[in-house]
Structure 1
Amino acid sequence: MTTLPDRPNTALIVIDVQNGVVDEAYGRDAVVANIRSLVDKARGAGTPVIWVQHSDEELQKGSEAWKYVPELVRRQEEPLVAKSYGDSFEATDLEEVLAKAGVGRLVVAGAETDACIRSTIHGAFTRGYDVTLVGDAHTAGDKSQWGAPPTEAVIAHTNLYWQFQDAPGRTAAVATTEDVSFIS
């Protein structure tokens, strides 16, 4: 039901599952395994998999921290979007990649829940995309020392409020890895 005309397709967006982002993230291994399952499902259905990779002072391009975790391997033909802001659309070519593929619905997984995931799902929704957040395929590191709630509460809260997100002509949803289907 996207508001984007002639964009009937779906894409899986995998955000920032990089060594330096998820090395100490909550439930890291289970989340990475779920993302790998999503990637396999998307590939099996012929659904585009779009990889997003953050770089900044702490995630220097080419460094071990910057690289994607070894469990997730991007295929050469799968787009890689380089970003340096939280919202994966901000100052990137993500919109052009999605438009070229006729994508109006996004299935989102990755890290970090309270930063790049949140920014991207909101950014996509305000740009007219239907957005499904995979509730058991996103994570973050512990930021409680700076006053944030425990990570599991951040994830639960994000899943709770996203399923009630609403706007004309768009849908927001939360699904489990098991329930995501890329076959229409």
Structure 2
Amino acid sequence: MTTLINRPHTALLVIDLQNGVIAQAWRRQEVLGAVAGLIERARAAQVPVVWVRHSDEDLPRGSEAWQIVEELAPAPNEAIVEKNWRDAFEATELEAVLSALGVGKLIVTGAQTDMCIRSTLHGALARGYDALLVGDAHTTEDLTQWGAPPPEGVIRHTNLYWANQRAPGRSGGVAESQDVSFAR
């Protein structure tokens, strides 16, 4: 349903699965396993996998914390979009990458749920994309000491409100990893 003209394709978006971002993430191994399975299925279906990597003062470029986790590896032909803001579209090449691939629908995975995942989902919908969140393939760390709900609550709430997210000509939605279809 995307409002983007001549953009019929889908891409799997892998956001910020970096050493420093998910070192203390809730259900880290389960989420990485779900994402790895999605990556494998996307590649087999020739659906582009687009990686997003954050950098800031806590994640300096080139540092070990900035590196994508060793459990996952971008293929040589897969784009890695570097970002400095929570919304992966802000001041990055993401739109240009997706446009060149003819992508109008995103399947979103990664971290952190309450920061970069939410911001990018909203950024995608506002820019005309359909954006499907994979309910068991995103995570966050425990930020309860700063007043946030526990990680499982943040994830459940995000899945709840994104499940029925809509805008004119665009849709959100949530699916579990085993229910995601990469059929063209």
TM-score (normalised: structure 2): 0.99
> What is the alpha-carbon distance in structure 1 between the residues aligned to residue 133 and residue 78 of structure 2?
20
> What is the alpha-carbon distance in structure 2 between the residues aligned to residue 122 and residue 79 of structure 1?
21
In structure 2, runs of 5+ residues without a counterpart are: none
The match for 1:139 is: 139
Superposed, 1:52-67 pairs within 5 Å as 52-67=52-67
> What is the alpha-carbon distance in structure 1 between the residues aligned to residue 166 and residue 130 of structure 2?
10
Q: How far 1:76 sits from its partner (Å)?
A: 1.1
> What is the alpha-carbon distance in structure 1 between the residues aligned to residue 175 and residue 19 of structure 2?
25
Does 2:9 align with 1:9?
yes
Cα displacement string for residues 14-72 of structure 1 (whole angstroms, at most 9, x for unaligned residues): 00000000011000000000000010010000000000000000001111110011010
> What is the alpha-carbon distance in structure 2 between the residues aligned to residue 119 and residue 163 of structure 1?
15
Does 2:50 align with 1:23?
no
The match for 1:71 is: 71
Does 2:43 align with 1:36?
no
Secondary structure at the counterpart of residue 117 of structure 1: helix
CA-atom RMSD, angstroms?
0.5
The match for 2:45 is: 45
> What is the alpha-carbon distance in structure 2 between the residues aligned to residue 58 and residue 171 of structure 1?
34
Q: How far 1:171 sits from its partner (Å)?
A: 1.2
The AA in structure 2 aligned to 1:153 is G
The match for 1:109 is: 109
> What is the alpha-carbon distance in structure 1 between the residues aligned to residue 149 and residue 51 of structure 2?
28
> What is the alpha-carbon distance in structure 1 between the residues aligned to residue 112 and residue 33 of structure 2?
16
> What is the alpha-carbon distance in structure 2 between the residues aligned to residue 169 and residue 155 of structure 1?
26
> What is the alpha-carbon distance in structure 2 between the residues aligned to residue 148 and residue 63 of structure 1?
28
Secondary structure at the counterpart of residue 156 of structure 1: helix
> What is the alpha-carbon distance in structure 2 between the residues aligned to residue 111 and residue 25 of structure 1?
8
The AA in structure 2 aligned to 1:132 is L
> What is the alpha-carbon distance in structure 1 between the residues aligned to residue 35 and residue 74 of structure 2?
12
> What is the alpha-carbon distance in structure 1 between the residues aligned to residue 45 and residue 25 of structure 2?
29
Q: How far 1:183 sits from its partner (Å)?
A: 1.1
Secondary structure at the counterpart of residue 182 of structure 1: coil
The match for 1:154 is: 154
TM-score (normalised: structure 1): 0.99
